[in-house]
Amino acid sequence: MKRILSGIQSTGNLQLGNYLGAIRNWVKLQNETECFLFAADLHALTVFQNPQELRHNTQEALAMYLACGISEERAALFPQSMISEHAELMWILSCHTSMGWLNRMTQFKEKAGKQRDQANAGLYTYPILMAADILLYKPDSVPVGDDQKQHVEIARDIAGAFNRAYGVEVFILPEFLGMGPATRVMSLKDGTSKMSKSDPSDASRINLKDDPDTILQKIKKAKTDSGVFPANPDETEGRPEVKNLINIYCALTEKNPEFLYQQFGGKIFSPFKESLADVCVESLRPIREKFNHLMAHQDHLNNVIGQGVLKAKTVAEKTLLEVKEIIGLYKG
């Protein structure tokens, strides 16, 4: 059986982009693959986190995976930091990663901005930890949104460099797996920037925990433009916000945009927005309910996480031992 691995930083507020770009694809893949899915709490530390909130957000992220339809029988769900092999392998891999590769990473450039010298080193070495997360489990593919493609590519480069340096095949080069029409859901306030849980404006995103009224208000206020609803794809050109709302509708309903052009083409935006709000509310309702139920039953949730940790640990431990053997670390 093929294996997949993926994770999301546990910085709170999982949003629609996380669902459409990542979690929903894991749900689709879980019947035919063995899944390792974690909450990336170590990666979250690249930005200062309130300790209580971080711990809580990590548990919430894992509960949200389950609420979105991940089956505890099919997947190992775990917090990244519970498997110390991630951090240990990261060090070893960092000795096989050139600075040139890290310097090319667009995420670092974006996040560090002009104040590079002030950025913490974790932000810079972030891709090496991500490579360790991936390579420990030898997955065939890594289902993530578009923005993570470069990180999967560097993980492949690092794996290749390590294998070549020692003349081994210990690491499998993982495939980037982008799926579906919504690998990039954009902000409700700016169609050129990604919907993100770290955007200071809550109105820019639909959180998976948002109640129906909040969702309705956010969609009503979502940015469009002074034109009317497009009647064909050509009329969406140069209108990123409009394109994004259509994309969200189609991703959630798994329908083709054609019928939207027919139903709403030439009209003002409000009827379409009402319909979109309805689709969002009804798609997220079962998720929110299941999430609330899971969070209210801590024993069960912690038990599922405990099982996931055991399963992940067994695999991670084995790979790290192989690596230590190959590179000649002391065995005692």
Provide the annotated active-site residues: 111, 194, 197
- Among ligand AMP, ligand TRP, none, the one that 18 touches (CB under a kind-dependent 5 to 8 A) is ligand AMP
Of the two residues 113 and 227, which places its CB atom closer to ligand TRP in the complex?
113
Q: Which of 4, 7, 30, 58 binds ligand TRP (CB under 6 A)?
A: 7
- DSSP 8-class letter at 187: P
Q: Does 130 bind ligand TRP (CB under 6 A)?
A: yes
Q: Does 199 bind ligand TRP (CB under 6 A)?
A: no
Smallest gap from residue 278 Cβ to ligand TRP (A): 29
Q: Which of 72, 88, 147, 153 binds ligand AMP (CB under 6 A)?
A: 147
Smallest gap from residue 275 Cβ to ligand TRP (A): 30
Of the candidate spans 23-31, 129-137, 156-164, 293-301, the one that interacts with ligand TRP by CB under 6 A turns out to be: 129-137
One DSSP character per residue, 72-118 reads TTTEEEEEGGG-THHHHHHHHHHTT--HHHHHT-HHHHHHHTT-GGG
Q: Does 153 bind ligand AMP (CB under 6 A)?
A: no
Q: Rounded to whole angstroms, how far apart are CA atoms 58 and 70?
A: 16
Q: Which helix (H) or strand (E) holds 6?
A: strand 2-9
Closest of 64, 79, 80 to residue 13, by C-alpha: 64
Q: Does 209 bind ligand AMP (CB under 6 A)?
A: no
Q: Cα dihedral sign for 129, 199, 184, 33?
A: positive
The angle subtended at Cα 106 by Cα 2 and Cα 175, nearest 5°, is 15
Q: Which of 40, 135, 182, 301 binds ligand TRP (CB under 6 A)?
A: 40
Q: Does 252 bind ligand TRP (CB under 6 A)?
A: no
